[in-house]
Amino acid sequence: MKKKFILLPLVGLLFCLILSGYSSGPGLIGGIEGTGASGLPGCSCHNTTATPAISVTIQLLSGGSPVTYYFGGDSYTVRISGLQTSSALTLPKFGFQLAAVKSLTSIGVGAFTAIPGTHLSTISTITLAEQNSSMTGVGGGGVGTTYTVDIPWTAPPAGTGLVSIHGVINAVNGNGSADAGDKWNVNNIELPERRRVGPITGVTTLCAGSSSTLSDSVTGGTWTSSDPGTASITLTGGLLTGVAAGTAIITYNAGLSGTATTTVTILPAPGTISGSSAICEGTTAIFTNPVPGGLWSSGTPTVATIGSTSGSAVAVSAGTTVITYRLTSGCFSTHTLTVNPLADAGTISGSPSVCVGFNTTLVSSSPGGTWSASNAFATIGSLSGLVTGVSMGLDTITYSVTTACGTASTAHTIEVVHAMMCSTGLGAIAQTSGNELVIAPNPAKGLVTINISSPAIEPAHVVVTNLFGQVVKEFTVYTNQRNEVFLFNQPAGIYYITASSASRKYNAKVLLQ
């Protein structure tokens, strides 16, 4: 049998390679047909073009089963098969050739292993698996004859990416000549790389009640726990939560990429902290936990301190702090403590005096308290702080604030003075010398004559008050006129009379008998 040649197209490169040799020995390893046919779409010695008389299939087998992907570094079998489909031909023998390259490149990847009757050859970086001499198909060479070879292949390392396996079957008539009576065809398959699940990563020792997130280098899988009562995990996302002390096996199933497992340990957590949630400045509180052996700490010692072993907390200043009880394992529980300030009445601001019958308002810097008057000289609104003068004298106004941390009070002294000390609201007026207002008779018994000397005739508002500053009568007269007025029915004594016009103010006193 003469030498026969076929074409193996690899990433745009055309190689016309020796696929079979004399029946007594191997073909030229890695040889390139020397007639110039390597530049043609085939090999002139075996026919220039592929033919449908031969169909070619390539499969990747794992454990005898076809797969459409590979894992880096794993061992597989590449099966190349041909089928004779023409009734006009008799092609009992065949040759083959296989090559594996990184897709879209001319870089060979992986490693074929020669089996009896085959050998390996290399062109550039591409390793070829091919027969030593013609191999015999199954079926006598007529229609339905099959030509099959299984070649071991070790996949390239992880991270290589998409791999193409190219193959050619050359069915020959066995007449000893490499002529047009021989028929060949080619095919290839694309194999995406799959990554195997790696070790599960993440915190696998945690306290009951706490969580961590587990992960794997291969994404898209699902998570399960062998004991959800000890450790639960979300189906997707890998959120692990400690439920109770113990161990559990976590499984990550990534389908075709495999499964991975890890053991998680859940440590016992301390119980709930018992103790006050709010205390007052300067007071103490005791905190306890049902699990012994832990240590206490305060997140903000300027608010409250706590004995590390006693659990006795001392309130320092108003604010909030987190009390922590931590076991030697590192597991802990927390409790929020609020320190309330002591009651504070603040400071009172406002007038130091008020006239009889007039008002003034006192204000405290601390809201929320109540007002009271100690004597009968003034009254005050308990919530408003509005002071009303009742009679002349000194009164003590008290402001008190009551909170959960006690009651605080502060005092303000106010003097209630005669009504003549206050403006009547008639506008700015001048004070007279004191003899323009004449009351006759004086002493008087009831009916009196009031004369007011003024530069002009104008109305004047008259206010009569007793010695306590209480207003007993008000009326209007005109200046520069004789005004007869029945003064009042009041007890005998001295009374003060104030008359105010638009421009002046007049004062006098009368003795009522």
pLDDT at site 489? 76
374: closest CA among 417, 416, 411, 347? 411
pLDDT at site 4? 33
pLDDT at site 12? 34
Q: Which amino acid is at 290?
A: P
Is 427-512 a domain of CATH 1.10.230.10?
no
Query: What is the DSSP-derived secondary structure letter of residue 196?
Result: P
Domain at 348-417, CATH from 3.40.50.2000, 2.60.40.1080, 3.30.1300.10, 3.40.50.300:
2.60.40.1080
Residues of the chain below pLDDT 50: 1-44, 424-432
pLDDT at site 35? 23
pLDDT at site 465? 84
Cβ atoms 58, 147 nearer than 8 A: no
Cβ atoms 469, 418 nearer than 8 A: yes
Q: 4-194 sits in which CATH class?
A: mainly beta
Q: Which CATH number is associated with domain 278-335?
A: 2.60.40.1080
CA 182 vs CA 6, 43, 170, 292: distances in Å: 10, 11, 7, 90
As to burial, measured by CB atoms within 10 angstroms (0-12 exposed, 13-18 middle, 19+ buried), residue 170 is: buried
Q: How far apart are CA 141 and CA 309, in angstroms?
A: 93
What are the tens digits of pLDDT across the range 418-441? Answer: 776 665 443 334 444 557 889 888
pLDDT at site 41? 34
Strand partners, 206: 266
Q: Which CATH number is associated with domain 205-267?
A: 2.60.40.1080
Token representation of residue 363: 């204000």
Token representation of residue 345: 């009445």
pLDDT at site 469? 77
What number of helices (H) and strands (E) belong to the chain? 0, 46
pLDDT at site 428? 38
pLDDT at site 46? 59
Q: How far apart are CA 337 and CA 351, in angstroms?
A: 42
Structural domain spans, the chain: 4-194, 205-267, 278-335, 348-417, 427-512
Do the first three CATH levels of 278-335 and 348-417 match, i.e. the same topology? Answer: yes
pLDDT at site 431? 45
